[in-house]
Structure 1
């Protein structure tokens, strides 16, 4: 309250009624005017001493990283955030390159310990004394027991794996006795399992991964060499990868887009002298005509406006791991074709697995009847990704993607399991629809046995209405890292090991030239 706004009498009354505060101490301008109270002399800090006081010494039973106490939070969101912080604190373990081997059950990474628990609950001992619980795997797979279990010879019930191999650190047997009995067959894959162990711990080591830095677009004049991984990474100006483990990690991600690009590119290593069939050259020539358009002299002004072709639609059916790839990895496919645009359509009931928190599924509305998740922002305008958590035959029957054009469409099936006993029934309704489109279909497999099983299933169920456009063979851009099946530790495979392709048979009208030449019919077959 200002003194000029009240009378003098009221001002005196207000000052008289105010509480008396203690007088402020007078400040001394020199040390000699006032004497400070005596204090104990402080220890002088040296230049290398930390400014903060050091913690007391730890007792012998204490650890260097005490557990984080989780306080009581008022809501579930804060509680979940605190739990995530505690998990990040536990995950903050830096493993050195010479300390990557750890048994799965005692691993410093909590994710790997959970994986070991899952294997102990779901994987069974492959010893022939146990009754079989699954169909026999590939007989040519290394590490298989020389005498697989049969119902006639097996006496004891199935048992889960509990005993870990001391050399690879992965549970492979139910007891030490069965492990020693099958030790010879286990030696065939023991070194490979140890490599898988170290690669998994490398991902959870906490180190920086320079090999995961993907390059951007490059000049059109710079040609891409698709001979193998080394020439591709060099011509695409990737950071130098000198370590074999880093090479395995980066190829595990790049194998999906580069496998597609290596087949569709005009500089593809697959030609008529290497796996490609004459009918495959027809199909790929149509796609390459769109993927490599001629220069039209387009500019930024009105005179430079040119019509652009529609994007290439890549239907990836049965999408699983490829749907959760970082989008920078999928952009590498667009960088191989700088003058084309792509629309990746991921279809499958597992296409959004482990991504619920990232992209919650939208409601199905008349504008979006199948709940598609569309990603277009932040992808440079050259690629768009749509995800459908649905079976393809449902979308095909509704004509959601019609019409199909061999110049703009292609189907891709990564490890589809067409002939696998547990998944072949899911493809029975889809195969006739794929053949009806007359669009090329590219497939990959985990092994040669897996591809041959899928090819035999397609040959049987297509009833002569399919043409083989790409012979099965090893994929030049397969993943160099090996993977382990959690339900069967002896099943070791690598992503996109082999590649092959087929297409619905096309019948073209031709003039009649006699009975001998007209008896062929069709555009080709599996044996031509």
Structure 2
């Protein structure tokens, strides 16, 4: 069942933190209101079919007398219908008080967004607090290696940020100076999570349409980008954080591949000499000249194949609302784009599309193909490891003019996931196509870079120097396994590719 754009955006935002526990995400998928709404509709349809089978001819008046009266909702405005966070009658579900059961009902006001996680009026946040208490450890030095106390789970909520952070009030007070460094950010996370489920309208999820070719895009920062792309004005910092949390994925790619990219060869531009070679090839394809083609037979012109963007290790980004990914097509209106999400978790949060298509000779990997996302964009999703597909030559040949790899927070150097990339990295370097990589934090990005240097030393060229992403998410995320670990989506970005050896000719002696 397709969700309204705003409803899909809110659903993606509520589950986009891929660093949280998988078990918690599974609970959210089972307990969220969207699945229950689908079940209720199926029950209503079954009741209608049962009632209709009792009589071959029933007039509308008879139905109104025979069945409980159902009041049709009042017609809403276009914006209210698409961007009401309670458009679904089951936006929130719990064993406690029911919130958001009527369209347009406001659960929390703008001046009442701060609540402790444990005593939150939102059931989903209360469950999240229970999960943190069960899995997060107290960060007090006495519980760390070398301390005089055994590890303990957090149990005390800071009154300033409302999140369980220490095992007791005594340890919280004793380590208050260390906690004070992130307390304000944790409070902001708290309020943003409650705002997402407050029941307000979300006009920031109404994205801009196609771009006039005469109107140039300014990619200096988020403000100039949204303004030159004709987005609705976002005057509230919280609304800006909610909007950028989704847009960071397509805009990060577009900001690097666009001809008006803020990354350049100038001092501080971070683009290397090898980088301008690789990205110029892609920009040549993404910004084709006008051909003078028309709609009739005489106006037919040969078109270049689509640019393939391989999103490897795809997780939450594969479930983003499609109107967010369409923004990438609006940045390149005269090019065709094929997004390919690949990874064992690429169908996460997309339970309504299971079971997966069978693997057939025409679709050997059981890909889910969305070919009508936009007239110039197609999206494919494959639930498998990339190195398994690469060995079969399914996507061969690779062309630096038409192919690019993107990895959002891949965890290349993380001890829990680095082994999954050992076989993939040499294959990516063989393609000689650009590889764009993002990281949650400076530490996360540096860990990935060190792993690449250690695994493929001398076999790759850096295209974009590591640094902070101009279009990172302005909203901070909380790691439920460690409340001290806060990060921002796509905080940093860098790029590399396999080393290309130029052919040189030696002058022959006479």
What's the TM-score, normalizing by structure 1? 0.76
Runs of 4+ residues over 3 Å off in structure 1: 74-86
The structure, 1 or 2, with the larger RCO (C-alpha pairs under 8 Å, 6+ apart) is 2
* CA distance in structure 2 between the aligned counterparts of 1:289 and 1:359, rounded to whole angstroms: 38
1:497 is aligned, of 491, 497, 507, to 491
1:431 is aligned, of 422, 425, 436, to 425
Q: CA RMSD in A?
A: 2.2
Report the CA distance shift for 1:398/1:188 in structure 2 as closer, same or farther (over 3 A).
same
1:479 is aligned, of 465, 470, 473, to 473
Cα deviation digits, residues 91-137 of structure 1 (max 9, x gap): 3152111000000111111111111111111111112222xxxxxxx
Aligned counterpart, 2:286: 291
Aligned counterpart, 1:209: 202
CA contact (8 A) 2:137 2:152 kept: yes
Matched, 1:344 2:350: no
Map residues 87-486 of structure 1 onto 2, 5 A cutoff.
Answer: 87=93, 90-92=98-100, 94-130=107-143, 149-150=144-145, 153-273=146-266, 274-377=269-372, 379-486=373-480
* CA distance in structure 1 between the aligned counterparts of 2:436 and 2:40, rounded to whole angstroms: 49
CA contact (8 A) 1:91 1:110 kept: no
CA contact (8 A) 2:211 2:331 kept: no
* CA distance in structure 2 between the aligned counterparts of 1:98 and 1:75, rounded to whole angstroms: 33
SS in 2 for 1:502: strand
* CA distance in structure 2 between the aligned counterparts of 1:262 and 1:512, rounded to whole angstroms: 41
* CA distance in structure 2 between the aligned counterparts of 1:196 and 1:389, rounded to whole angstroms: 32
Aligned counterpart, 2:52: none
SS in 2 for 1:401: coil
Report the CA distance shift for 1:242/1:454 in structure 2 as closer, same or farther (over 3 A).
same
Cα deviation digits, residues 466-501 of structure 1 (max 9, x gap): 111110011111111111001100001101111100
* CA distance in structure 1 between the aligned counterparts of 2:211 and 2:415, rounded to whole angstroms: 45
Report the CA distance shift for 1:305/1:171 in structure 2 as closer, same or farther (over 3 A).
same
Report the CA distance shift for 1:94/1:358 in structure 2 as closer, same or farther (over 3 A).
farther
Deviation of 1:87 (Å): 2.2
Report the CA distance shift for 1:85/1:351 in structure 2 as closer, same or farther (over 3 A).
closer
Deviation of 1:437 (Å): 0.5
CA contact (8 A) 2:92 2:123 kept: no
Deviation of 1:85 (Å): 8.3
CA contact (8 A) 1:359 1:373 kept: no
Unaligned segments of structure 1, at least 5 residues: 1-73, 131-148, 515-528
The 10-residue stretch of structure 1 (403-412 or 443-452) with the greater mean CA deviation from structure 2: 443-452
Map residues 45-124 of structure 1 onto 2, 5 A cutoff.
Answer: 78=43, 87=93, 90-92=98-100, 94-124=107-137
Report the CA distance shift for 1:210/1:510 in structure 2 as closer, same or farther (over 3 A).
same
Aligned counterpart, 2:103: none
Report the CA distance shift for 1:451/1:75 in structure 2 as closer, same or farther (over 3 A).
closer
* CA distance in structure 1 between the aligned counterparts of 2:419 and 2:190, rounded to whole angstroms: 34
Report the CA distance shift for 1:176/1:79 in structure 2 as closer, same or farther (over 3 A).
farther
Deviation of 1:380 (Å): 2.3
SS in 1 for 2:142: coil
Higher-Rg member (1/2): 1
Aligned counterpart, 2:3: none
Deviation of 1:359 (Å): 4.6
Q: How many residues align?
A: 420
Cα deviation digits, residues 353-392 of structure 1 (max 9, x gap): 1211245322223332222111123x22211111111111
Deviation of 1:158 (Å): 2.1
Cα deviation digits, residues 295-317 of structure 1 (max 9, x gap): 11111122211111111100000
Unaligned segments of structure 2, at least 5 residues: 1-38, 48-88, 101-105
Deviation of 1:460 (Å): 1.0
Deviation of 1:164 (Å): 0.4
* CA distance in structure 2 between the aligned counterparts of 1:366 and 1:156, rounded to whole angstroms: 60
Deviation of 1:330 (Å): 0.1
Aligned counterpart, 2:77: none
* CA distance in structure 2 between the aligned counterparts of 1:118 and 1:80, rounded to whole angstroms: 36
Report the CA distance shift for 1:359/1:216 in structure 2 as closer, same or farther (over 3 A).
farther
Greater helix content: 2
